[in-house]
A and B are shown apart, each in its own frame.
Chain A
Amino acid sequence: MDQLSGGEMLTRALHDEGVEIIFGYPGGAVLHIYDAIFHQDKVEHILVRHEQAATHAADGYARATGKPGVVLVTSGPGATNAITGIATAYMDSIPMIVISGQVESRMIGTDGFQETDMVGISRPVVKHSFMVQEAKDIPCIVKKAFHIATTGRPGPVVIDIPKDATDPKVKQTYEYPNEMKLRSYAVPTKGHSGQIKKAVDALLTAKRPMIYTGGGVIQGNGSEQLIELTRKLGFPITNTLMGLGAYPASDKQFLGMLGMHGTYEANMAMHYCDVLLCIGARFDDRVTNSDTSKFCPDATILHVDIDPASISKTVTADVPIVGSVAPVIEEMIDQIGKSDKKVDEQALEVWWNQIEQWREKDCLRVNPSAEGIIMPQDAVKAVFEITKGEAYVSSDVGQHQMFAAQYYGFDKPRRWINSGGLGTMGFGFPAAMGVQFAYPEATSVCITGEGSFLMNQQEFATCMQYQLPIKIICLNNEALGMVKQWQDMQYGGRHSHSTYSESLPDFTKLAEAYGHVGIKIEKADELYPKLEEAFAMKDKLVFVDVLVDPNEHVYPMAIKGGAMKDMVLSKTERT
C-alpha cells in the first residue's frame, strides 16, 4: 500500500474518483497540493486568471457533461473569489467540488495571513462542506464529497484543507474507500406508485393539459423519457430557462420557454390549463410572476421533484411526487399504457386549436430595423443557422441572454449553459471554457453582452494558454441593456448608471492584444458573411463584436404583479 502525503492523497483520490481535469489558481495555503500536482500526470490542472472563472469553468464543464466540476483555490482571497461561482452552481443544482486551502490548523482563529472562515462563508451556498482535520481523513472525505455533490439534488460541496494536512513530509498509508456510510443522507429514486397513479388519472381526464419542465430534467438525465411521455400524450409542453433543450425546440408540441420573457402561447397555455404536470422545476418567481395567488387558477398541479423541499414551497401541489425524474416518468409511461382511461382526444383538439390561435400572434417576430441597424435577435438567429443549432451555447445575464434563450432553438439537453438562478454576469465566458475543455472538437459559443463580458475578460489569457477556439458573440448595445429596459419601462426612461458608450474598449483590439482574432460587425448586411468567417476559423478564439440596436427591448415581458396571461408584447401592445 502506498505511503502518501496529504497533498498526494488528494490528487490520487481525485484520480480514483475519475476526475480528469481541475480548474484552479495557486497560493500559499495550497502550495503543497500544487507540488503534488506537479509530480503526477493523471489529473490535468487548468490555470485560470481569477478564481471566479475557475468555478464557472468547472460549472460549465459539469453542465455540459453531467460530471462534477472540480476547483482548487487558495485560502482567504482565493476562497472568497470562488464564492460567486459556488453560489451560481448552488442555485442551479450543479455538481461541483471546491477544494480550498486553509491556514495551518494551529493558526485557525488567529486572523492569520489569508485566513478566512471558508466553511462559514460558503455555508448558505453549498450542499455540504467538510473541514479536513487530519491528512488520513482526505480519501474518505473526497469520497463522501463526490457522493453528496452528484446524487439526489446535486450541488456544490466545499472541502477546506489546512496547510499542515498536506505537508509533504508526513506520509501515511493511502487507500481509497470503495464504500462509505452516510447514515444521515438518503437519496430518493423511484417515486411513490400510488402518487404516480393519481397523477396519471389526472392527466388522462384533463381537458386542457400542460407540461412544464425545468433544469431537473436535464440534471436528472430524463430528456429521453420526457420526449416519450410528451409524444405519447400529445400534450403541449414548455421549458423553463434552465430546462431548454430537454424537449426539442423544433418539435411542434413545444410552445417555447415560459415565464417572465416566455412566449405568449406558453404563458397563455399555463394560465388556462386545467391540469399542470411540472417535472423538475420549482415554480420560481421568474415563472409564476411573484403573485402566486393568480398562478394557473384552474389547474390541478402535479409536481415531480427529487427535492421534497421544492414541492409546495411557493405553489401548493395537489399531487406531490418525490423522486428522480427519469424513473418517475418511466413509471408514468408504464401506468398510462395499463390504464383503462385514455387521453380525451376531442378535448385535446379543442385545446390545441386554442393554442394555435395564440401561436398566430407570432410573439417573437422581430420588428424590421431602421436602415442597416442590426437587431440583436437577428444576430442570434444567424448564429443558430450558421452553427446548424448544434453548438454548445453559454450566456451571461441580460437582454442578450433572453434573446439567446428565445431565438437559439435547443434540440438537445446540456447545450444551453446559463446561470438561471443566481443570474451571474461574468458566467458565460469561463463557462464556455469549461465546455471547450470537455469537448475540444465541439463548437463552444458564448453569446454575451459587453457589460457581462467585461466582468471576466481576463480569461482571454487562459484561452490563449490552452488554445481554446471559443467563439464569443458579443451583442454590443453599449449599455447594461436589461437595466436600461427596466428604467425605460418603470423609471420614466431615467438611465441611472446603465450607459457607458464613451468608455467602452475597442473589443477587437482587446482580443488581438491577447493574440486572438477580433471581428467587428456594424451593418446588417455584414452579419452573415462575417459570422461565417468567424465560425470558419476552427482553431482560433474569435471575438465578434456585434453592434446591435441599443433601443431594443426583450418581449414578451410579464407585467409585474399580474398573472401569467398578463404580458407586455411590444413597446405599444399589452395583453
Chain B
Amino acid sequence: MRHIISVLMENEPGALSRVVGLFSQRNYNIDSLTVAPTEDQSLSRLTLTTSGDDARIEQITKHLNKIIDVVKLVDLTEGAHIERELMLIKVKAVGAQRAEVKRSVDIFRGSVVDLTANVFTIQLTGTGDKLDAFIAALGDNVVLEVARTGVSGISRGEKTLAL
C-alpha cells in the first residue's frame, strides 16, 4: 500500500542524506520526495511517498525515528489528510490543438502560465492521481516536458506535526 510520510528534521547539512541513505541501504523504495524549511528555520519538513506492507512501513518509520536528525514524523495515510502535488507541464499547442488543450486545462482547474506560438506551459495542482489523469487526458505526442514537485501533505483537523 502507498504511504505518505512527513518528517520534521533538523535543518542541518547531512540530514537529508541520512534519510535518503536509509532507504537505499535497507532496500526501501521512495516514489517521491519533497523537502523545504518550515516556519521555524531550524527545522525542515520532508515528505515522501513509499509503498509496502504494514511490517515494512513499521520498519521504515522506526528506522526514520532512529535517525538523530529526525525530530518527529507522521504517516499521513493513517488518518484523514490532504495531499497535494504541483506540476508544471509543457505541451504542444498548435492550431486547433490550442482550444482542445485549454479545455482540458479548465476541466482540471489548471492554468496556462506561459505560452508561445506552439507551446503552452500549464500549472496544475492536486493529488498525484489527478496529475496522472491530466497527463493521460492530453493523449500521446502532446507532452513535451513535465516537472512535478512530488507529494506534500498535511493532516486534516486539529492534529499538527510540530514541536
A interface residue numbers (CB < 8 A to B): 119-120, 123-124, 127-129, 131, 148, 182-185, 307-309, 312-313, 316
Contacts and interface: CB of A to CB of B under 8 A. Distances in A.
Given A307-B66, A309-B63, A184 B71 contact: yes
B59 A309 contact: yes
Contact of A308 (B10, B17, B65, B71): B65
Interface residues of B, number: 20
Given A148-B68, A183-B163, A184-B71, A131 B14 contact: yes
B1 interface: no
B147 interface: no
A307 B66 CA distance: 8
6 nearest CB pairs, A to B: A309-B62, A184-B71, A128-B68, A124-B25, A308-B62, A309-B63
B71 A120 contact: no
A318 B9 CA distance: 32
A373 B111 CA distance: 87
5 contacts: A124-B21, A131-B13, A182-B68, A184-B10, A308-B65
Nearest to A148: B68
Most chain A CB within a 10 A radius of its CB, from B18, B66, B68? B68
Contacts of A131: 13-14
Most chain A CB within a 10 A radius of its CB, from B9, B10, B21, B66? B66
Interface of B: 9-10, 13-14, 17-18, 21, 25, 55, 58-59, 62-63, 65-66, 68-71, 163
Contacts of A312: 55, 58
A12 B94 CA distance: 73
Given A184-B9, A184-B69, A308-B62, 15 more contacts: A123-B14, A124-B21, A128-B68, A129-B14, A131-B13, A131-B14, A182-B68, A183-B71, A184-B68, A184-B70, A184-B71, A309-B59, A309-B65, A309-B66, A312-B55
Nearest to B60: A309
A123 B21 contact: yes
A119 B69 CA distance: 14
A120 B17 contact: yes
A465 B127 CA distance: 68
A316 B62 CA distance: 14
B55 A123 contact: no
Contacts of B9: 184
B92 to A, nearest CB: 41
A150 to B, nearest CB: 14
Contacts of A184: 9-10, 68-71
Contacts of B163: 183
B63 to A, nearest CB: 5
Contacts of B55: 312, 316
Nearest to A184: B71
A313 B59 contact: yes
Contacts of B62: 308-309
Nearest to B72: A184
A184 B71 CA distance: 4
Nearest to A153: B66
Contacts of B63: 309
Most chain A CB within a 10 A radius of its CB, from B17, B21, B62? B62
Most chain B CB within a 10 A radius of its CB, from A183, A307, A309? A309
Contacts of A129: 14
A183 B69 CA distance: 9
Contacts of A182: 68
A127 B68 contact: yes
A128 B21 CA distance: 13
A182 to B, nearest CB: 7
Contacts of B71: 183-184
Contacts of A313: 59
A183 B58 CA distance: 22
B122 to A, nearest CB: 38
Nearest to B42: A183
A307 B21 CA distance: 19
Nearest to A311: B62
A295 to B, nearest CB: 15
A124 B22 CA distance: 8
A316 B54 CA distance: 12
A57 to B, nearest CB: 26
A116 B68 CA distance: 23
